[in-house]
Amino acid sequence: MRDTSAVQNPFFHSFSRELLVPAVVLATVATVITSQSVISGAFSMTRQAIQLGFLSRMKVVYTSAHEAGQIYLPRVNWVLLVAVIAAVVGFGSSSAMAAAYGIAVTVTMLMTTTLTFFVISEGWGIPKPVAVCATTVFPAVDVLLVASCSLKFLQGGWFPLVMGMGVLTAMSTWKRGRQLLFESLERDGLELVPFVESISREDMPRAPRTAVYMVANGGPGRARDARALRRRGYRRGADAHQLLREPRDHRAHARRRHVGLARTPLRRDAAQRGQRRRVLQAAEQRGHRARHPRADLS
């Protein structure tokens, strides 16, 4: 208190000269650990957003054959790098970033408490009066913290809010676009069973090749637009499996449905890459016996 300059950095000035260097080392290690948790959290949240349809698909690298949560997203990693460099250069110092940090942390705490209420009441099935009593104290404290940090909104507190609004806009726009696309496909598409029955006629023009239609949940649009059918066809439905490593002979099996057409559901493990032909051959061995040369497949 006797040193007026301590107000500029009260944390490190609270240590004696002998403990200053260990305190700096400890703070550096804590910063590294925190940054790693932020990076891992960004990977996990991005993957969940992709699975929920709020973001476009991107490359996910599974770094472990046993733990599904150990993932790496190269694109997200580069976005984080660019964002951190831009924030450091834009603010210029850690003191200038204090307002942005305060707003980000306190608003995150408030949102977490709000979501906790819905998890307790909707997810766990606890009566809402009990859930309100269990979570009332925390929002009161969080609102006070947010209000105190909002005084520095113009000094940099606007940065995390604008950033969050940008991410929310992008995610909601992508979600709405996917919804409109699926509604259009369902409206303009054909029912699978009547379509397959209609192409089972012997007089239907067929090219002497084998076609593989890779779809998520089935659809005749690709064959309809081709205006001519291949002599043999597979309707390949991919199913994301929980296991990171699925035994190859368990990934596929063929079911002959109509003349020249077989349905082949695939169980593709998360770590599998570029093995479509191998899985198709496994399906032939387990069910559909029609062989085809490599050049005859499309």
User: Do 82 and 27 fall within a single domain?
Assistant: yes
pLDDT computed for residue 282 by the predictor: 60
Cα(237)–Cα(264) distance, rounded to whole angstroms? 6
The residue from 172, 188, 204 where one domain ends is: 188
pTM for the full predicted model:
0.67
pLDDT computed for residue 262 by the predictor: 66
User: Do 164 and 107 fall within a single domain?
Assistant: yes
Ranges of the chain with pLDDT below 70: 1-9, 190-193, 199-203, 209-210, 212-298
User: Do 198 and 289 fall within a single domain?
Assistant: yes
User: Do 205 and 290 fall within a single domain?
Assistant: yes
What is the domain extent for residue 200?
A: 192-296
Contacts of 191 (CB under 8 A, 6+ apart): none
User: Do 268 and 287 fall within a single domain?
Assistant: yes
The residue from 89, 112, 134 where one domain ends is: 89
pLDDT in tens, 58-91: 999 988 878 878 899 999 999 999 998 999 898 8
φ, ψ for residue 7, nearest 5 deg? -65, -20
Check if the beta carbon of residue 192 is closer than 8 Å to that of residue 220: yes
pLDDT computed for residue 215 by the predictor: 61
Among 63, 30, 24, residue whose Cα is nearest residue 47: 63
Sign of CA dihedral 172, 178, 182, 183: positive
User: Do 275 and 205 fall within a single domain?
Assistant: yes
The residue from 146, 171, 188 where one domain ends is: 188
User: Do 178 and 231 fall within a single domain?
Assistant: no
User: Do 209 and 292 fall within a single domain?
Assistant: yes
